[in-house]
Amino acid sequence: MRFDQLSDESIKKVGERIIRNAEARIRSQVPSPDRNPFSKGALRNSLRFKWGKNSDDEWELTIDYADHGKFVAFGTRSYFDAGARATSFFGRDYVGYVKSTGGIRPQYWLSLRGDRPVYEAIVEAELRVVWETFITNTISDLSKNSKRND
């Protein structure tokens, strides 16, 4: 069974499992007062995670956060890492706060690098469960139908 053959309900469940994992990971990396002397907690408090269909009827993970989060994630001035914005969640490794002068060093707090195998395992497990359920239900239906015909 392929991912595009999953029902919307199954895809929703897979996405919700992935979001729980991703949200925990990102929340542990977002700058906070205990790890960054300039953080006041506003960025952490602004995080909103959503898994759903977009206007093109495609499933997507959306993470909303305060506008200054992009500067903390990708840096400013001479430290700005334009390439990191194009590499998505699996691009750069999380760095955390590093003191700098004349700009903000990228912290890559949105990084999920290293977690890709976890998400792939979640999807594979869901595909297996969906396939096994389909087979079980099909066999069960066949068994019921053959008894009715006897």
CB proximity list for 95: less than 8 A, separation 6 or greater:
105, 106, 107, 108
pLDDT in tens, 58-97: 888 888 999 999 999 999 999 999 888 777 788 888 999 9
Range of the domain at 123: 3-149
CB neighbours of residue 112 within 10 Å: 19
- Asked if the model's pLDDT at residue 8 lies above 90, the reply is no
The C-alpha atoms of residue 58 and residue 73 are separated, in whole angstroms, by 26
The C-alpha atoms of residue 79 and residue 109 are separated, in whole angstroms, by 15
CB neighbours of residue 70 within 10 Å: 13
* Residue 94 · residue 113 · CB < 8 Å: yes
Task: Give the number of domains in the chain.
Answer: 1
pLDDT in tens, 109-126: 988 888 888 888 887 777
Range picked from 4-18, 73-87, 115-129, 134-148 for highest mean pLDDT: 73-87
The C-alpha atoms of residue 10 and residue 12 are separated, in whole angstroms, by 5
Q: What's the pTM value of the predicted model, to 2 decimals?
A: 0.70
